[in-house]
A and B are shown apart, each in its own frame.
Chain A
Amino acid sequence: MNGGDGETDRRRRFGELCESLRPDLLRFAWWLGRDRGVAEDVVQESMLRAWKSLDALADERKAKAWLLTIVRREFARSFEKKRLELSDVDALVAAESAILAAPEDERVAEMREAIFRLDAEYREPLVLQVLMGYSTQEIAGMMGMQQGAVLTRLFRARARLRQQLGLAPEREP
């Protein structure tokens, strides 16, 4: 009986977790794949994988980082090759125009498209840092990289954004 209650409680907590984190997971997956269909599929599959390996989550306070790591692995496993075939970024911009639109502020729309056009190696750590709020050390852990490499990518991401937006260029380190 206790085991059954435990399972029910586990399901409920997992459901609440997914519900609260789903918007961020979808945003992250969309910025990875730049395709709403891919984002939906990646998050759906990631939820299934997370449920199957829920016991691996020792600390629920770290659930978001854990789920984001599952999302990026799932994306790499299933969709990265597929998206690389569609390398025409102009076509991607056109296809995702509804999400890129920010009619309330033209500057936001301009920045959004500039980020959309960044190479994945710069876009991903930027999303994890600025949107998800992780430190460079945490990002290094999630991406399996040295912290110094993450710092370089973040520096270059901002330098490229400044370049794309026509701002004064920043010297590369």
Chain B
Amino acid sequence: MTTCLEFRRRVGAEPFAADAAIDAHRRECAPCARHQDELRAMDGLIRQALKVNPPARESAAAPASPRAWRPRFFAVAASLAAGVAVALIVLVASPRAAIAREVVNHVLHEPDATGATASLPPAAIAAVLDPSGMRLRDGVAGSVSFAARCVVDGQVVPHLVVQRPEGPVTVLVLAHRSVARPVRFSRQGYAGVVLPAPRGAIAVVGQDVADLDAVAREVFAAVEWGK
């Protein structure tokens, strides 16, 4: 009789493991079966990710003749430019881009959230933050004019709009996301920063907000994360 823990240990190391014990547990336990399916899907992505194009360095051979030098110079320049372009694409792509896309898409999805300016009562803010085990210190970061629990990337997250002298800023608490260091982005007219938080990450987004980093730090300091 395989327990859920034994099953998950096994498929966590070998997602495609299949024997009588694994099959029997899959039939009895739907959550574990789903978990294995997720791991198998993730392995498909891992396989694609590992299959990088074999790395190869450019030949360092000298040009064969002065005539050959000029085209080669332009070829090298073009290759350097392409390299810079690829590097720029990568800076915008991968985890940073995924978070930026999630956050900005959600802000665009709720245009009315930044329209209200009246301060919400503390109870309304607490109703949004309490389920996530958090609270906002009074008056530290500005008045909160919008508070809701929203779905971002399939997860329910607290969404606040804080009125600041610099203009309204949107705050999303992304407990399902983790970043190792601050991630700054600019997308579709919005500038944002995602900071590592005790649980996941916190995104602060605004339009034409001067010194967004300082605002984000203040907002971050205003949150009590609880346990």
Contact surface of A with B, Cβ cutoff 8 Å? 22-23, 26-27, 30-31, 36-37, 39-40, 94, 97-103, 105-115, 126-127, 129-131, 136, 150-152, 154-155, 158-159, 161-168, 170-171, 173
Contacts and interface: CB of A to CB of B under 8 A. Distances in A.
Given A94-B87, A109-B94, A158-B39, A27 B52 contact: yes
B178 interface: yes
B67 interface: no
Interface string B31-50: 00000000100110111111
A130 B5 CA distance: 23
B5 A171 contact: yes
Interface string B67-103: 0000000000000000100110111011101100000
A31 B93 contact: no
A100 B90 contact: yes
Given A111-B46, A130-B47, A136-B14, A27 B94 contact: no
B46 A97 contact: no
Nearest to A98: B86
B8 A171 contact: yes
Contact of B46 (A40, A101, A105, A115): A115
A40 B57 contact: yes
A99 B52 contact: yes
Q: Is the interface of B mostly helix, strand, loop or mixed?
A: helix
Interface of B: 5, 8-10, 12-15, 39, 42-43, 45-57, 83, 86-87, 89-91, 93-95, 97-98, 174, 176-178, 200
Contacts of A158: 12-13, 15, 39, 42
A28 B223 CA distance: 45
Contacts, number: 130
Nearest to B51: A131
Contacts of A170: 8, 12
B9 A155 contact: yes
A61 B177 CA distance: 44
A103 B94 CA distance: 9
A27 B95 contact: no
Given A97-B86, A152-B13, A37 B95 contact: no
A101 B45 CA distance: 14
B46 to A, nearest CB: 5
Contact of A154 (B13, B56, B86, B174): B13
Contacts of B39: 158
A99 B55 contact: yes
Given A101-B86, A101-B93, A166-B200, A23 B50 contact: no
Contacts of B8: 170-171
16 contacts: A27-B54, A36-B57, A98-B86, A98-B87, A100-B90, A111-B49, A115-B49, A129-B14, A130-B46, A151-B14, A164-B178, A165-B95, A166-B174, A167-B176, A168-B176, A171-B8
Contact of B50 (A39, A131, A151): A131
Contacts of A127: 50
